[in-house]
Structure 1
Amino acid sequence: MKIAIDSGSACTRGKTGISWYTWNLIHNLAKIDKRNLYILYDISSRIRKTYKMFDSTLPCQKNFRKKVYPFHSSLVRKLMPVTFLTSKTDILHMPEQRLSPVFNTKKIVTVHDIIPWLEIYTDVKWMKIDSQKRRTQRKHIQQSVLKSYKIIAVSEHTKNDIVKYFSVNPSKISVTYLGVNEIFYPRGKDESILHKYKISKKFIACSAAACPRKNIRKLLIGFEKIKKTHNCQLVIFGRISNKSSWCEVYNNLPSNIKQDIVFTGYVSSDDLSCLYSGAEFFIYPSLYEGFGLPPLEAMACGCPVITSN
């Protein structure tokens, strides 16, 4: 069988959720399957910069081949169906729920969540800023779900959402839960890592993003109360910006509270494992997740978890 996988996200620098999902999927398939032929492809208009990384990051073995499409997206839409038709590809897997221009082969899509379809935003201003992005994501999810041959959902919860919002036959959906990368395991306290991120006290760990759904606003309010009785730091992982939905709350905190909040920016998986292992606990106050991998990673490192329901 010839199986094509949209592999572009697996080669990005600073991998996060779906990027790691795609990378782990490909590398574990390489370990267990020596029989089927895999075509790993990427669409990139910046291929001269990314090809070396694409070539070196993904498996190099006889049944894995790599294909890049260094074209403008409109040309890709015209040329990719011809390529897949002539190569007699049996299955095309889309790991990140986005549209594929290929119409002549069976498509399997992984759906991680349908968040753009849900009215879970708590910030009207943010909804206006994010509206165009949400419309695009809605289109991608809807068409990829309705036009796919099979759907992989990362949780029963996501499967139920797909059935509810798109009236998809449940038999079309297979639930395959996410797993934890083997890099996440209990470690002793690493003083060099703590020093690197300017952590000098017992600390609470949290992963963050700019969107209101992650509920960091409430976490900051809670941390201010905790500081009245506990001398600790709040360490927030992840990329943020001054446009984050909770920045107003942070800016209004007393200076003695703000000095004990650490923003790490992007953290590599190896460092993240050390930070999980050294935290008093990991808190995940998100309002909605399709699966929610960070709590599982924290637990794999022996870190207690507090999460929303």
Structure 2
Amino acid sequence: MIFNKYNFFFFLLVISMSVQAQVKIGDNPSVINQNSLLELESSSKVLVLSRVTSSQMNAITPLYGALVYNIDEKCVFMFQGLTWKSLCGTSTTVTTSTTQPIINNRGDIWVNNATVRNIVSVGTGTTWIPINSNPKSGAGTPNSQPNLNPNSGDIYVDESTTDLYIYNGTSWINSTASAKVAATNGLTLGAGNTLELGGALTKPTTIATTTSNTLAITGLQNATTIEDNEIVVVDKSTGVLKKIEASSLIREEEIVLTAISGQSQFSPPYPIVNPKQIDVYRNGVRIAFTVVNATTIEVEPEAVCYQGDKIRIVQLY
């Protein structure tokens, strides 16, 4: 074996490395910081990392902290345990996967391609927040969906029924017209979710009017005879509408008295309510009269009776 000066230098280098566990390559090889394991020093030469493509890089699972130069991205990447992180001036890591990745930094982006909706989430540093979460959506009601974490006012769309839900701070409310509108108490729900007047009243109902806000019904049919119809009346104490036979609205009291000679005043057995609603007949002929008091009438002077005249007093009310 030829032992020349190069072999001797290599031998000394190995001895030095094994003793000090430090290596200095480049300029000033004898000067190295006491805390350095390896130092590179040169004003004309550089360190070149392994140069790989993206597919080659992703196929490597090295130790944490490993470095490579990605020739596709033209950037240095560092391995963080599960993913390679770009070191080119950004702290955002974009991951497209079906499983939830580890959040490297606040602002990392995860595209979940497990569903056709490709939900995009942003990392807060501790958890992932879907940025397309309002309106939220899913196949089924919101109560069947996990991890919605809604706030008051959030919207949810059931993709299977297209029903729209709103979170009121406590529970999800189905606000679809067919679910929200309930037609009761004299109203019915027509085609196209239109409210229509008509139906059974389910509770006592009052319509309050004023002198300016009145209630009117127009377009009523004409009645042929009073006898075939009933009349709507209002209870003056309660305001409740009631119906009554038309014949009941007109009452008639009639009495026939036999006069004596010269008699001019007569007293029917019922009180006189309204003089304008009284007619007096002598022997079938209508005659004029005056009201003396609530129980007595007096016929006109020209109609003073003879013995046996028939005086008929008719009162309508």
TM-score by length of 1: 0.18
Identify the structure with the greater helix proportion: 1
Structure having the higher strand fraction is: 2
State which structure, 1 or 2, has the greater radius of gyration over its C-alpha atoms.
2
TM-score, normalised by the number of residues in structure 2: 0.17
